[in-house]
Amino acid sequence: MICDVHCHFFSSGFLRGISREAGGEGDPAEALAARLGWDAPGTDEALADRWVSELDRHGVRRAMLIASIPGDEASIAAAVRRHPTRLVGAFMFNPAAPDLDARLERAFVELELRTVCLFPAMHHVRLDSERVARVFALAERYQRVVFVHCGVLTVGARSKLGLPSRFDLRLGDPLAVGALAVRHPSVSVIIPHFGAGFFREALIAADQAPNIYLDTSSSNSWMRFHPGLNLADVFARALDVVGPRRLLFGTDSSYFPRGWQRAVFDQQREVLDRRGMSKEDRELVFGGNFLACL
């Protein structure tokens, strides 16, 4: 059983959102997709159908899809309504938004989205701010999950379009996430990419807060900042600290025609096979923990 906790839903709404910076003429969903070398996403329902077809092709049971620009919550809600047993809805959220409570309550209650995704380096919001504390409090009230991107952050679409990425990486500290998680022990908290360069800090935070999960997604190219570290070492150290029940498999898949990143799964499965991980523990990492957490 495979479940993927980290995929991006690059909808027409996403493309319209970044078109305000990228410029261009015509329908952004068509024009920007062409500039990026992507297939145009079409309607939210059509993109949801394509995702499910892709998951079927690779034998993936469920996936969490992230609406990847603030304000695009309705797109992923439409996708989940179309395939409720296959897709789990997540959405990027900027805590600096003036209507924080109303937007979160709409996403959690009316749209029934499962996970709120914070990118503090992108949105220049400190994790120890009162507004982020409010996000955690509402997630606790509605029994939702909080995803917090820490460490290195790159947005491929912005780079391809020549758009600036004025991120403040100092704001994405897993230790600050740990402090929040301790104060909200009933909230499941996901730190993606093993902390994306803040690996040591992510392990310390997860050791302090048993409600923190680490997602394994992407190529984990942040390892280049840790000389001598390889993926086998990363898994070994993470398993020593959090065990197999708090690792969530993910790929960071995003656009089409590239589709679901099978190579990420194959690489991680090979690493864990070489480690001699039991079948039961592999099933937790690649699917069971997803079902328990989400």
pLDDT in tens, 77-106: 999 999 999 999 999 999 999 999 999 999
Across the chain, the runs of DSSP E, i.e. the strands, are: 2-9, 60-67, 87-93, 115-118, 145-148, 189-191, 212-215, 247-248
* Cβ contact 18:32 at 8 Å: yes
Which residue from 146, 152, 181, 176 is spatially nearest to 165, judged by alpha carbons?
152
β-strand 2-9 against 247-248: which pairing, if any?
Answer: unpaired
- The predicted pLDDT at position 160 comes to 87
- The predicted pLDDT at position 119 comes to 98
d(CA 27, CA 293): 38
Average pLDDT in the chain: 96
Say which DSSP state 253 is in.
B
Place of tokens 């992923």: 76
- The predicted pLDDT at position 137 comes to 98
As given in the structure block, the two tokens for residue 241 are 């600290």
As given in the structure block, the two tokens for residue 150 are 């820490």
Give the percent of the chain with pLDDT over 90: 89
The domains of the chain are located at 2-293
- The predicted pLDDT at position 74 comes to 98
- The predicted pLDDT at position 20 comes to 77
Spelled out in words, what is the top-level CATH class assigned to the domain 2-293? alpha beta
Q: Is 8 helix (H, G, I), strand (E, B) or coil?
A: strand
Rounded mean pLDDT, 227-241: 97
Rounded mean pLDDT, 24-53: 90
Q: Is 93 helix (H, G, I), strand (E, B) or coil?
A: strand
d(CA 214, CA 232): 15
Which residue from 264, 125, 141 is spatially nearest to 192, judged by alpha carbons?
264
pLDDT of 262-293, one tens digit each?
A: 999 999 999 999 999 999 999 999 999 999 99
Q: Is 84 left (phi over 0), alpha (psi -120 to 50) or beta?
A: alpha
d(CA 120, CA 95): 9
- Sorting pLDDT into bands at 50, 70 and 90, what band is 26? low
β-bridge mates for residue 67, sequence order: 9, 91
pLDDT of 158-196, one tens digit each?
A: 888 888 889 999 999 999 999 999 999 999 999 999 999
* DSSP symbols for 133-181: HHHHHHHHHTT-EEEE--S----HHHHHTT------GGG--HHHHHHHH
Asked if residue 28 has pLDDT above 90, the reply is no
As given in the structure block, the two tokens for residue 172 are 């994405």
Rounded mean pLDDT, 55-65: 98
pLDDT of 134-145, one tens digit each?
A: 999 999 999 999
Asked if residue 207 has pLDDT above 70, the reply is yes
Residue 102 main-chain phi, psi, to 5 deg: -65, -40
Distance of CA 209 to the CA centre of its chain: 19
Model-level pTM?
A: 0.97
Place of tokens 């603030």: 70
- The predicted pLDDT at position 25 comes to 61
